[in-house]
Amino acid sequence: MADLFSILKATIDLLAFRHNFREVRKIVGKKPAILPIIKADGYGHGLVPLAKESLKLGAPMLGIGTVAEGIELRHAKIASPILVIDGIFKDEAREILKHHLTPVIFSHDIALELNRIAGKAGKTVSVHLKFDTGMSRLGFLFGESGKALKKIRKLKNLHVEGVMTHLASSPDSSSPQTEIQLARFNKIIEMARNEGFNPKWIHAANSGAIINFPSSRYNMVRPGIILYGAPPCPARGVAFKQVMTVSSRLISVKNIPHGEGVGYNATYVTPRTKKVGLVVGGYAHGVNRLLSNNGFVLWKKKSLLPMLGNICMDNFMVDLSKVPTAKAGDEVILMGPQNDKVSAKGWADLTNSIPYEIFCSLGKSAKKVWK
Ligand SMILES: *Cc1c(COP(=O)(O)O)cnc(C)c1O
């Protein structure tokens, strides 16, 4: 079955991942622990292989999105602590206990239910408390955090192992929002200590904050996108390497006579007889339609071939006029670090997107090979 979806191939360069992990260590120094964020199937790079690689590199814990991903890791015999960062539903409390996952707590309802289930089982669950310091996403609101801390203090079957927040604008070093969020977070940490909590881990920094805001590092950092090699802002003195390369093959090569339309709606018309190639892989596999008449593929790692006409569901056409020896079966790189035009950043610029989305959408259906 898997091969039905193996139209695109994603080659995941684990050496580049390792390199990026070490670059993060270089930036933050010896002290803070590194909690790699591998949610959404490792940003499309593959959950289990990246989890294993991260643990080899010394990560004390793994950050994933959902309970389902946590269970997948447990089935893969991964025994390390696992933090479920995107929240849980009440009806997932049992699974949290059963698989020894560490949830983030963002509402009193969830805290109560977990405490109840844990109490019945005669167990204590480790949790991280998540505070919304100004992103309006998951977490106790800043204004309600004092009250929340008091209530959670009473729940004897929860062990508060961590306190965290998430930063909305950290790639922008000039945005005042990060300093405001960190000031609120510092206030919350103080309140938690006054309430008698002594969390082992305090964390706030995503990739942008790791690069721009040293004061956000506390004793743990949560890098995501920099581990995959697409920094969201310039990082002086460090060079991240893009981990994912997505390739496909030409399935057909033809000489199209002059004056013919190429693709749906004939948005491109051949100005002369032109050699045109058909590449397997389309918007069903994450090749965004905004690349129509706009993007490129890389042939033999050196020649950029412009995309012609509208991207189709399962395939698209490219201009082969500059590569007379190109033939059916040849490999082409759709997205990878080999050339700026086809890099995740290059695609993002052409499709009004961000590398995060490009990795996730291409990684989802591609057959992944880790090396
Ligand atoms: C996704 C995510 C991260 C990682 O963000 P990057 O910008 O990819 O570094 C860190 N923390 C939380 C809570 C997240 O959801």
pLDDT in tens, 185-237: 999 999 999 999 999 999 999 999 999 999 999 999 999 999 999 999 999 99
Pocket of ligand 1 (CB under 6 A): 37, 39, 85, 166, 206-208, 222-225, 232
pLDDT tens per residue, range 242-273? 999 999 999 999 999 999 999 999 999 999 99
Classify residue 194: in a domain, yes or no: yes
On whether both 185 and 259 belong to a single domain, the answer is no
Domain containing 316 — which CATH number?
A: 2.40.37.10
Closest CA to 7 of 300, 285, 361: 285
Q: Whole-prediction pTM value? A: 0.96
Domain containing 180 — which CATH number?
A: 3.20.20.10
Last-in-domain residue among 171, 202, 228:
228
- Among 39, 52, 274, 368, which one carries the catalytic annotation? 39
What does the buried/exposed string (b/e) look like for 228-258 if buried means 16 or more CB atoms within 10 Å of the residue's CB? bbbbbeebeeeebbbbbbbbbbbeebeebee
Other residues' Cβ atoms within 10 Å of the Cβ of residue 363: 23
The total of structural domains in the chain comes to 2
pLDDT tens per residue, range 67-85? 999 999 999 999 999 999 9
Last-in-domain residue among 228, 254, 289:
228
On whether both 200 and 132 belong to a single domain, the answer is yes
Residue 5 pLDDT > 50 = no
pLDDT tens per residue, range 36-54? 999 999 999 999 999 999 9
Last-in-domain residue among 175, 201, 228:
228
Nearest atom, ligand 1, residue 206 CA = 9
On whether both 194 and 277 belong to a single domain, the answer is no
User: What is the residue range of 94's domain?
Assistant: 14-228
**Residue of 137, 166, 221 to mutate, ligand 1, most atoms within 8 A of C-beta:** 166
pLDDT band for 6, please (50, 70, 90 cuts).
low
- Among 150, 154, 156, 264, which one carries the catalytic annotation? 264
Separation between Cα atoms, residue 69 and residue 368, nearest integer Å: 18
List 317's β-bridge partners, or say none. Answer: 278, 308
Task: Tell me, yes or no, if 218 is annotated catalytic.
Answer: no
Separation between Cα atoms, residue 266 and residue 353, nearest integer Å: 25
* pLDDT of amino acid 7: 87
Mean pLDDT of the chain: 97
pLDDT band for 27, please (50, 70, 90 cuts).
very high
Separation between Cα atoms, residue 353 and residue 147, nearest integer Å: 39
